[in-house]
């Protein structure tokens, strides 16, 4: 049987040669992502802004404006509607009733249920979430903190394990991945909720995984070919790990694709974010973190110095 | 590396068989598990987003606890100053700014008063701190300030009682396996799976259930009452049902409180057949109730729940047996709810729902179905792709992935883990990333072979060199997972648990287990060429 081989043996693609173009493109895209987040903002879910979210399942796809006017007639505050990928499932977002009474939210849910069932027979409320402003503030804080800690923690790990250049390049590359993901959510206006924070952290995890593999190969080659210049060395390392990069991205994409198509509407935004993150993370492994190592002046030589330093110390030992 | 000692082989097989075995109860329907007698083995719990149900996050207002303590202290100080001879004459009591301060009229008694007040304070924790600070200001005023540790310990004990009462009330609803956990200093996390009526739960937990009986103040001028003014000995309380009127003046003095109840049941009034709550006092409470009703025959008294008047019936005759009936505008459900609340006791502090998530059972079932479907398709897709790319070595990797799926389920069951919808996503993702280790190893073997190394050497180097990379990549990946676990809330946590377990088990199955398979094959066939 002939085996499937997606990447030919011994590729020699000059990744590093076009790094300035890539830097330019990357910088442009990152700036655009930040601008998109600043200008359009994220479509934050009730997890982060507080409020009441009702998910209603209709028998047939309802006209959204009719649903909206139905809800607006109830006078329960400004509503915002959205479909969940599937036109029959509509999410209705409302502010939390002012009254401190425990029954107030239930009263709103019941009112909405009765009113909608009158106009659209067979509609059911499959779930609803109520998050108070206090809790949503905490959730935002914890989410931001989690992402930052993960990025910084990983950068510190690769700094301690390798040279400082690896720490910085990983940090920059992962920040790039995070910003691009946020930009994606700002442009598409997909709902950004707690699940998406998990997705962002997963992207961070996957992306770092990918960078570690290449970084590890660069280190190995730095030991092997002490005379080779850094550009050639990085090209070699990226080319050597290319089959693995392609294979792993494909297996992960296959798994995520199954989740996107068959995993149900609740996870759709989550999966879309991760698929994008895999692409972005793979790109940034080559064009952000590896190329940045050259700019940061990583040389095979410091390694020599370190080793002779240790050897020297050993030689001093017996004399003293 | 090519020799694999027998103990190591046995150990690997044992671990995998154990892991797979643990997964079995979780993969069977619950009824079957009970039938074949495996009910006592650990199983994976389904999160609320998969089983359907409600999660409520309740918060107590810490300020309320502090206020209550202040009121209690005021009461205690008043009694203490009168209790012993010589009585200390005090005045100008103020509780503003969270401190209790008062004026001692006779300066000569100041020291004695301070002494007596000190006996009212309690030591808290270690280090000799007390729950109140007693100071003398301007040589005439005594000021009591609550200490931080005093408030903390009061909050702690109030929350402990509140958690217990919440548990009792939920148990009364007869739901299965609720989880009631204290969170932080003043929160309670309540999860109730498969609840049909979350409104009832919320209504029940929102009730403090502070029951009081007070005489109606008949001397109050109705015109004044309508304007919200009452004589000093009385207060105006609103009706629970606005239909009964705006408010009613009742005496401040308590006839009896709900603290002395021993039972409460929903029942029906014998004449009107309206739903009511029948209550029973303990012996002391019963005597007190008998005495006050005897003294006040013909007068109306108010039944007050959480500061609202349920009804104000007339005392037709002395109530002697220690039993009484609470009437009001009840439905059977609301009467039953009140009975439960009264039986379980009064909450020491009001609880507010600050977060609620309710998932209908249908959506939960749909999500499980979709999740299982997605997982199976993901596994099939990855397995086919790996086989096409790596042939025999792909098969080994596939065997490892499939065993890994079971082991993850088994490990989760072992830790009594909860599977949530994002957890399923983590599961599917793990299937995709678990083969990464095998990809790294196989690609490395290909490379070494191309460089002209012999088959056994290539295999050995492939595993050796790739293992280092795999270790590093997974450690960093686990850092992200750990942070999610520590800082994440709800769904993020559920996802992180699966991810972390998946990282740990996949390294074992993808590296150790496949290496054993490859070594077996090498030993038996001594191939001179590998297709990879």
Using a CB-CB cut-off of 8 Å, the residues of chain A touching B386 are 251
Among the residues of B236-331, which ranges form H helices? Answer: 283-295
> Does residue A309 have a pLDDT over 50?
no
Minimum-distance CB partner of A149 among B440, B481, B483: B483
Q: A155 and A32, same structural domain?
A: yes
Using a CB-CB cut-off of 8 Å, the residues of chain B touching A57 are 362-363
Site from B373, B474, B483, B531 to mutate, A interface, most A CB atoms within 10 angstroms: B483
User: Which of B86-100, B328-342, B382-396 holds the top average pLDDT?
Assistant: B382-396
* Interface ipTM: 0.83
What local confidence, expressed as pLDDT, does residue A313 receive?
Answer: 38
Q: A192 and A287, same structural domain?
A: yes
Check if B388 contacts A (Cβ < 8 Å). Answer: yes
What local confidence, expressed as pLDDT, does residue B196 receive?
Answer: 67
What local confidence, expressed as pLDDT, does residue B2 receive?
Answer: 62
Please, what is the angle between helix B361-390 and helix A230-262, to 10°?
A: 140
User: Which of B136-140, B186-190, B232-236, B417-421 holds the top average pLDDT?
Assistant: B186-190
Q: Which two tokens stand for residue B28?
A: 């069977």
| Angle formed at CA B197 by CA A83 and CA B263, multiple of 5 degrees | 160
Closest by CA to B255, choosing from B162, B194, B192, B319, is B319
Q: A58 and A28, same structural domain?
A: no
Contacts of B195 (CB under 8 A, 6+ apart): B53, B54, B173, B175, B201
Residue in chain A lying closest to B359 (CA): A127
> Does residue A101 have a pLDDT over 70?
no
Per residue in A120-175, pLDDT tens?
Answer: 888 888 888 888 888 888 888 888 888 888 888 888 888 887 788 888 998 999 99
Q: A280 and A215, same structural domain?
A: yes
What local confidence, expressed as pLDDT, does residue A177 receive?
Answer: 94
Residue A193 lies inside a defined structural domain of this protein: yes
Per residue in A268-293, pLDDT tens?
Answer: 888 989 999 999 999 999 888 888 88
Per residue in A10-55, pLDDT tens?
Answer: 788 888 888 888 889 999 999 999 999 999 999 888 888 888 888 8
Q: A166 and A22, same structural domain?
A: yes
CA distance A293 to A211: 12
What local confidence, expressed as pLDDT, does residue A319 receive?
Answer: 37
Using a CB-CB cut-off of 8 Å, the residues of chain A touching B421 are 264, 266-267
Q: A151 and A59, same structural domain?
A: no
Per residue in B204-223, pLDDT tens?
Answer: 787 788 888 999 988 877 77
Q: A123 and A153, same structural domain?
A: no
Mean of per-residue pLDDT scores for chain A: 84
What local confidence, expressed as pLDDT, does residue A100 receive?
Answer: 54
HSE value, Cβ hemisphere, 13 Å, CA-based, for A307: 8
Q: pLDDT confidence of A176, banded at 50, 70, 90?
A: very high
Query: Is the CB of A270 less than 8 angstroms away from the CB of B391?
Result: no
Q: A116 and A30, same structural domain?
A: no
Could you tell me the pTM of the whole model?
0.77
Tell whether the torsion through CA atoms of B372, B377, B382 and B387 is positive or negative: positive
Using a CB-CB cut-off of 8 Å, the residues of chain A touching B358 are 127-129
What local confidence, expressed as pLDDT, does residue A1 receive?
Answer: 64
User: What proportion of chain B, given as a percentage, has pLDDT over 70?
Assistant: 98
Q: A100 lies in which domain range?
A: 51-131
Residue A297 lies inside a defined structural domain of this protein: yes
Q: A190 and A81, same structural domain?
A: no
Residue in chain A lying closest to B432 (CA): A252
What local confidence, expressed as pLDDT, does residue B173 receive?
Answer: 77
CATH number at A71 reads 3.30.70.3400
Domain covering B62-147 in this structure, CATH number: 3.30.1360
Homologous superfamily of B6-52+360-525: Multidrug efflux transporter AcrB transmembrane domain (1.20.1640.10)
Name the domain count of chain A: 2
Query: Is the CB of A102 less than 8 angstroms away from the CB of B49?
Result: no
CA distance A162 to A147: 23
Residue A314 lies inside a defined structural domain of this protein: no
Q: A80 and A38, same structural domain?
A: no
Q: pLDDT confidence of A69, banded at 50, 70, 90?
A: confident
User: Which of A149-158, A205-214, A243-252, B91-100 holds the top average pLDDT?
Assistant: A243-252
Q: A171 and A274, same structural domain?
A: yes
- What residue ranges do the domains of chain B occupy? 6-52+360-525, 62-147, 207-346
Residue in chain A lying closest to B451 (CA): A10
User: Which of A21-35, A65-79, A85-99, B302-316 holds the top average pLDDT?
Assistant: A21-35
Please name the residues between 413 and 432 in chain B that touch chain A, using a CB distance below 8 Å: 421-422, 424-426, 428-429, 431-432
Mean of per-residue pLDDT scores for chain B: 86
Between chain A and chain B, the number of residue pairs with CB atoms below 8 A apart is 249
Using a CB-CB cut-off of 8 Å, the residues of chain A touching B366 are 264
Q: A80 and A160, same structural domain?
A: no
Per residue in B305-351, pLDDT tens?
Answer: 888 898 888 888 888 888 888 888 888 888 888 888 888 888 888 88
Query: Is the CB of B385 less than 8 angstroms away from the CB of A251?
Result: yes
Instruction: Give the lowest-confidence range in A39-48, A77-86, B242-251.
Output: A77-86
Cβ neighbours around B287 below 10 Å, total = 14
Topology, domain B207-346: Gyrase A; domain 2 (3.30.1360)
CB B318 within 8 A of CB B337: no
Q: How far is A210 from chain B (nearest CA, A)?
A: 7
Per residue in B470-512, pLDDT tens?
Answer: 988 888 888 888 888 888 777 778 888 888 999 999 989 999 9
Mean pLDDT in residue range B157-182 = 85
């Amino acid at each position: 049987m002939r085996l499937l081989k997606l990447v030919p043996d011994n590729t020699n693609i000059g990744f590093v040669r076009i790094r300035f173009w890539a830097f330019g493109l990357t910088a442009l895209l990152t700036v655009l992502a930040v601008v998109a987040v600043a200008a359009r903002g994220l479509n934050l879910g009730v997890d982060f802004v507080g409020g009441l979210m009702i998910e209603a399942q209709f028998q047939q796809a309802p006209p959204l404006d009719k649903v909206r006017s139905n809800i607006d007639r109830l006078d329960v505050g400004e509503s915002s509607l959205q479909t969940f990928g599937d036109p029959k499932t509509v999410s209705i977002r409302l502010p939390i009733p002012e009254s401190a009474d425990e029954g107030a939210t239930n009263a709103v849910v019941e009112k909405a249920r009765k009113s909608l069932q009158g106009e659209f027979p067979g509609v059911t409320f499959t779930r609803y979430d109520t998050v108070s402003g206090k809790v949503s503030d905490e959730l935002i804080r914890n989410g931001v903190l989690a992402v930052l800690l993960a990025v910084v923690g990983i950068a510190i790990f690769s700094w301690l394990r390798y040279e400082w250049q690896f720490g910085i390049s990983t940090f920059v590359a992962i920040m790039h991945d995070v910003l691009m993901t946020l930009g994606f959510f700002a442009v598409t206006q997909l709902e950004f909720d707690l699940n998406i924070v998990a997705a962002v952290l997963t992207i961070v995890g996957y992306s770092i995984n990918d960078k570690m593999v290449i970084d590890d190969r660069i280190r190995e080659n730095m030991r092997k070919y002490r005379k080779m210049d850094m550009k050639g060395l990085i090209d070699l390392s990226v080319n050597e790990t290319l089959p693995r990069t392609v294979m792993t991205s494909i297996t992960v994409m296959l798994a995520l694709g199954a989740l996107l198509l068959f995993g149900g509407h609740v996870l759709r935004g989550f999966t879309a974010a991760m698929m994008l993150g895999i692409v972005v993370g793979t790109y940034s492994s080559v064009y952000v973190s590896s190329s940045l190592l050259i700019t940061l002046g990583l040389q095979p030589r410091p390694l020599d110095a370190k080793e002779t330093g240790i050897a020297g110390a050993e030689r001093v030992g017996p004399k003293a | 590396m090519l020799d694999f000692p027998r103990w190591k082989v046995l150990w690997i097989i044992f671990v995998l068989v154990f892991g797979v075995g643990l997964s079995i109860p979780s993969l069977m329907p619950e009824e079957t598990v009970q039938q074949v007698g495996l009910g006592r083995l650990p199983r994976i719990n389904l999160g609320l987003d998969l089983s359907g149900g409600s999660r409520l996050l309740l918060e107590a207002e810490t300020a309320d606890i502090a206020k209550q303590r202040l009121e209690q202290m005021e009461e205690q100080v008043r009694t203490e100053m009168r209790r012993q001879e010589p009585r200390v004459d005090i005045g100008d009591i103020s509780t503003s700014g969270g401190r209790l301060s008062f004026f001692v009229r006779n300066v000569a008694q100041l020291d004695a008063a301070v002494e007596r007040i000190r006996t009212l304070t309690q030591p808290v924790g270690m280090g000799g701190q007390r729950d109140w600070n007693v100071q003398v200001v301007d040589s005439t005023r005594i000021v009591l300030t609550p200490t931080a540790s005093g408030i903390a310990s009061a909050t702690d004990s109030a929350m402990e009682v509140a958690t217990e009462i919440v548990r009792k009330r939920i148990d009364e609803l007869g739901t299965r396996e609720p989880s009631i956990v204290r969170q932080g200093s003043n929160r309670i996390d309540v999860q109730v799976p498969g609840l049909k009526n979350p409104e009832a739960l919320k209504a029940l937990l929102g009730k403090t259930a502070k029951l009081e009986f007070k005489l109606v103040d008949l001397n109050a001028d109705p015109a004044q009452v309508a304007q919200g003014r009452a004589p000093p000995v009385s207060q105006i309380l609103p009706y629970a049902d606005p239909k009964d009127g705006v408010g009613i003046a009742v005496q401040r003095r308590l006839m009896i409180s709900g603290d002395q109840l021993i039972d409460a049941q929903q029942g029906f009034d014998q004449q009107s057949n309206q739903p009511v709550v029948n209550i029973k006092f303990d012996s002391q409470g019963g005597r007190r109730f008998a005495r006050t009703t005897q003294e006040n025959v013909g007068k109306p008294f108010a039944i007050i729940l959480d500061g609202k008047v349920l009804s104000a019936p007339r005392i037709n005759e002395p109530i002697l047996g220690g039993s009484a009936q609470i009437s009001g505008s009840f439905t059977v459900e609301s009467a039953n709810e009140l009975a439960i609340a009264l039986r379980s006791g009064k909450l020491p502090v009001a609880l507010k729902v600050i977060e609620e998530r309710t998932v209908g059972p249908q959506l939960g079932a749909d999500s499980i179905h979709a999740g299982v479907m997605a997982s199976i398709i993901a596994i099939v897709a990855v397995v086919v792709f790996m086989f096409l790319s790596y042939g025999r070595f792909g098969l080994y990797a596939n065997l490892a992935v499939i065993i890994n799926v079971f082991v993850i389920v088994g490990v989760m069951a072992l830790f009594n883990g909860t599977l949530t919808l994002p957890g399923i996503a983590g599961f599917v993702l793990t299937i995709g990333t678990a083969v990464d280790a095998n990809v790294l190893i196989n690609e490395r073997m290909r490379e070494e072979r191309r460089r002209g190394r012999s088959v056994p050497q290539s295999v050995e180097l492939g595993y050796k060199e790739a293992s280092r990379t795999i270790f590093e990549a997974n450690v960093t990946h686990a850092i992200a997972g750990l942070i999610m676990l520590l800082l994440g809330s709800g769904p993020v946590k559920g996802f992180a648990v699966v991810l972390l377990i998946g990282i740990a088990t996949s390294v074992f199955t993808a590296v150790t287990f496949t290496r054993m398979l490859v070594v077996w094959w090498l030993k038996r066939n001594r191939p001179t060429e590998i297709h990879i």
